[in-house]
Amino acid sequence: MSRIVILGAGIAGHTAARHLDRWIGGRHEIVVVSPNAKWEWIPSNIWVGVGQMGKDDVSFDLADVYRKTRVAFHQARALSIHPQGGTAGAGPFVTIEYTDDGRAGQRAEIPYDYLINATGPKLNFAATPGLGPDHGHTVSVCTTAHALEANHRLQELIADLSRGESRTVVIGTGHGTCTCQGAAFEYIHNVDHVLREAGVRDKARLVWLSNEYELGDFGMGGFHICRGGYVTNGKIFTESLMAERDIEWITRAHVTKVEGGKISYEQLDGSFHELAFDFAMLIPPFSGVGLKAYDQAGGDITAELFAPNGFMKVDAVYAPKPYEQWTAADWPKTYQSPAYPNLFAVGIAFAPPHLISKPMQSANGTPINPAPPRTGMPSAAMAKAVAASIRDMIEGAERPTHTASMAEMGAACVASTGSHLLRGTAVTMTLFPVVPDYTKYPECGRDLDLTFGEIGLAGHWMKLLLHHTFIYQAKLRPGWWLLPD
pLDDT digits (tens, 9 = 90+) for 289-298: 999 999 999 9
Q: Give 430: exposed, middle or buried? Use CB within 10 Å, 0-12, 13-18, 19+.
A: middle
**pLDDT score of 229 more than 90:** no
pLDDT confidence of residue 417 = 72
Q: Where are the domains of the chain?
A: 3-123+287-394
Q: State mean pLDDT over 390-416.
A: 91
Q: Which of 343, 301, 335 is nearest to 92 (CA)?
A: 343
**pLDDT score of 454 more than 80:** no
Q: State mean pLDDT over 451-458.
A: 76
**pLDDT score of 319 more than 70:** yes
Give CA–CA dist 72/443, Å, rounded: 49
**pLDDT score of 424 more than 70:** no
CB atoms within 10 A of CB 201: 17
Q: Is residue 291 within 8 Å of residue 310, measured between CB atoms? A: yes
Q: State mean pLDDT over 436-442.
A: 93
% of the chain residues with pLDDT over 90: 81
Q: Is residue 86 within 8 Å of residue 69, measured between CB atoms? A: no
Q: Is residue 362 within 8 Å of residue 268, measured between CB atoms? A: yes
Q: Is the dihedral of CA 226, 230, 234, 236 positive or negative?
A: negative
Q: What is the pLDDT of residues 106-144, one digit of tens each?
A: 999 999 999 999 999 999 999 999 999 999 999 999 999
Name the CA dihedral angle for 369, 375, 379, 381, rounded to a multiple of 10 degrees: -100
In sequence order, the 6+-apart residues with CB closer than 8 A to the CB of 275 are 168, 170, 207, 209, 250, 262, 263, 265
% of the chain residues with pLDDT over 70: 98
Enumerate long-range contacts of 355-358, CB under 8 Å, 24 or more apart: 355/219, 355/323, 356/219, 356/220, 356/221, 356/435, 356/436, 357/212, 357/213, 357/217, 357/219, 357/220, 357/221, 357/222, 358/213, 358/221, 358/323
Give CA–CA dist 202/187, Å, rounded: 18
Enumerate long-range contacts of 61-65, CB under 8 Å, 24 or more apart: 61/37, 62/9, 62/14, 62/32, 62/34, 62/36, 62/37, 62/38, 63/37, 65/39, 65/474, 65/475, 65/476
In sequence order, the 6+-apart residues with CB closer than 8 A to the CB of 157 are 167, 169, 204, 278, 279
Q: State mean pLDDT over 247-260.
A: 97
Give CA–CA dist 313/304, Å, rounded: 8
Give CA–CA dist 102/99, Å, rounded: 8
pLDDT confidence of residue 90 = 83
Distance of CA 349 to CAs 64, 101, 375, 405, Å?
A: 25, 27, 10, 15
**pLDDT score of 420 more than 70:** no
Give CA–CA dist 255/272, Å, rounded: 10
**pLDDT score of 230 more than 80:** no
Mean pLDDT estimate for the chain? 93
**pLDDT score of 305 more than 90:** yes
pLDDT confidence of residue 463 = 80
**pLDDT score of 405 more than 90:** yes
**39 versus 240: which is more confidently predicted?**
39
pLDDT confidence of residue 348 = 95
pLDDT confidence of residue 428 = 77
Distance of CA 190 to CAs 46, 286, 408, 424, Å?
A: 8, 23, 31, 10
**pLDDT score of 228 more than 90:** no
Distance of CA 283 to CAs 123, 182, 449, Å?
A: 9, 10, 32
Instruction: pLDDT band for 422, please (50, 70, 90 cuts).
Output: low
**pLDDT score of 260 more than 70:** yes
Q: What is the pLDDT of residues 358-387, one digit of tens each?
A: 999 999 999 999 999 888 788 999 999 999
Q: Which of 140, 41, 154, 50 is nearest to 418 (CA)?
A: 50
The CATH architecture that domain 3-123+287-394 belongs to is: 3-Layer(bba) Sandwich (3.50)
Q: What is the pLDDT of residues 198-213, one digit of tens each?
A: 999 999 999 999 999 9
